[in-house]
Chains A and B, each alone.
Chain A
Amino acid sequence: MSSAPRTEPMTAEMVSEFVYKHSTGNDIGRFLAGMKDQKKIWCQRVRGLGVAVPPVGYSEADGSPAGEWVEVQPRGTVTAIARVFRPIAELHPSDLPFAYILVRLEGADTALAHIVVDDLDRLFIGSRVEAVWKPDEERIGSIRDIAHFRVIG
């Protein structure tokens, strides 16, 4: 009678891939349409937080429904930075070194996450940045309709 073979640990590969389509609904929908059609950033005033960016239709603080729509400016002040020196192809939003930022847009009370790709040596917390829009034909109704933010001061 032979015995079962001893083995080194092995692995089994598994690939999981599927393309989902999320409905925007009215709130994020108007935010995305504003960027695509008007190059404007529309947000909502919500209880407990002020003007929230992006608008989700309710207050993240207490669940109450959002109030009026407010246009905020496509420029503001950097409140946080995470620098990526070696981007991972196709996963990161830039092939060249870049920085993730949180930017408090003028007229807003919460910060928006985005990226800065140029003048990284001039980028600090407190820096002033401005949105760089993609051309009309490339805007699809996405947060990446803003290609990136550039340092203006």
Chain B
Amino acid sequence: MKRPVAVVGVGQTHHSARRADVSIAGLVREAVDRALLDAGLTHEDIDAVVIGKAPDQLEGVMQPEQFLAGALGAHMKPLLRVHTAGSVGASTAITAVTHVASGLYERVLTIAFEKQSEGNAMWALSPSLPFTPPLVAGAGGFFAPYCRAYIAKSDAPAHIGPMTVVNARENAMRNEYAHLRETVTLEEVTESIMLWEPIRYLETCPSSDGAVAMIIASEEQAKKGPRRPAWVKSGYSYAEAMWVPGRDQVSPRAGRDCVKHVYDTAGITDPWNQIDTAEIYVPFSWFEAMWLENLGFCAEGDGWKVIDRGDQRFGRHLPINPSGGVLCTNPIGASGMLRLGEVALQVMGRAGEHQVDGCKTALGHAYGGGAQYFAIWIVSSEL
């Protein structure tokens, strides 16, 4: 990066199936108000605004960035909307980072949201593309074959998916903002209805209403306080084409290349030992094992073994998704930024009950589209 960049404020809404108490603008403002308060700033201190959300069909509001400009305090300021499907929350934050790293802006407000209760994700995520076979699969039906391919390729035992959910739900109990705060047993998961083999009802993410915002600032501004910032050591967004024959959909190359670039820039050579916690995008149980491999935390084929041993649980070697992650809270467009915001809070030492002890370096990750968009950052407690 051309100059140091930090997260100086994080704010998120309480997430639930239906936030009927607020409009879309009200939901967004709840997160923005909390982020500004956290940073000790007001709208007047903000130079530019970067907003992201998943496809417009989710709420039926076309050009939501235009609709929300006033609510975001973006009148007479540069306002940019980012769109990279499910990874958008993360790529939006990384766009805000490049805004500041470029030297053009000192303090940027970045925000991501989804209000899934106003529409239907299954409908919104089953698009009709010209001259392309309609899948009418939604996200679960689309990704289930990827999970089956992973199981076949790695010879993973059937209990790994359900185990992942049990752990995620335990983690969410320590996160006051999480949507699903109720533990489940292995039996309850395996006995829940099979939706898209091998993904059962309890192995899929919820539909949530929620938003998250961050204030991204230059070194000079970050050092003014009032709190200890999270320093962004590196952050990149990568993409690959969805329909290229021969692409590896279980461990996509864009993900591997993106994280390599992130590690190289941040000086990470041994992620398993150098990273203290990670928030990764796991909308369906099996993706935790898949991304552990794609992100280089273990060898290919070993992701499920990490979960089987419990090394990714809270309090163990590398806690994954201490917030409970996407399996417990999924306002789609915001889910990626929640991953990045959660790890920023971890290195600030302000993650609350799910704080990982002594956390200095953390990775935030999101993916989207047909597992073709990736956005990853590493944050640190040290400049």
Does B227 lie at the interface of the complex (its beta carbon under 8 Å from any beta carbon of A)? no
B308 within 8 A of A: no
Distance in Å: Cβ of B126 to nearest Cβ of chain A: 11
B120 contact set on A, CB distance < 8 A: 18
Q: Is B59 an interface residue (CB 8 A)?
A: yes
Which size bracket describes the interface of A in this complex?
20 to 34
Flag whether B26 is at the interface (Cβ < 8 A). yes
A23 to B21, CA, bound (A): 7
CB–CB A22/B44 < 8 A: no
Tell me the dominant secondary structure on chain B's binding face: loop
Q: Which residue of B lies closest to A60 (CB)?
A: B70
Complex formed: what's the CA distance from A20 to B73 in Å? 26
B66 contacts partner chain A, Cβ-Cβ < 8 Å: no
1/0 contact string of A39-73 vs chain B (CB within 8 Å): 00000000000000000111111111000000000
B252 to chain A, nearest CB (A): 29
Nearest chain A CB to B224's CB is how many angstroms away?
21
Binds A, one of B1-9, B111-119, B269-277: B111-119
The 8 Å CB contact of A12, one of B60, B71, B75, B130, is B130
B50 to chain A, nearest CB (A): 15
> Are A23 and B74 in touch, CB under 8 angstroms?
no
* Structural contact, A25 and B75, CB atoms closer than 8 A: no
Tell me which residues across on chain B come within 8 A of A25, comparing CB atoms. Answer: 21-23, 25-26
Interface string of B123-138 (1 = CB under 8 A from A): 1100010110000000
Interchain residue pairs with CB less than 8 A apart (17) = A12-B130, A14-B128, A16-B128, A18-B120, A22-B23, A23-B18, A23-B117, A23-B118, A25-B21, A27-B26, A28-B23, A57-B25, A58-B29, A58-B73, A60-B70, A63-B73, A63-B74
| B residues at A contact (CB < 8 Å) | 18-26, 29, 32, 43-44, 57, 59-60, 70-75, 115, 117-120, 123-124, 128, 130-131
Binding site for B on A (CB under 8 A): 12, 14, 16, 18, 20-29, 56-64
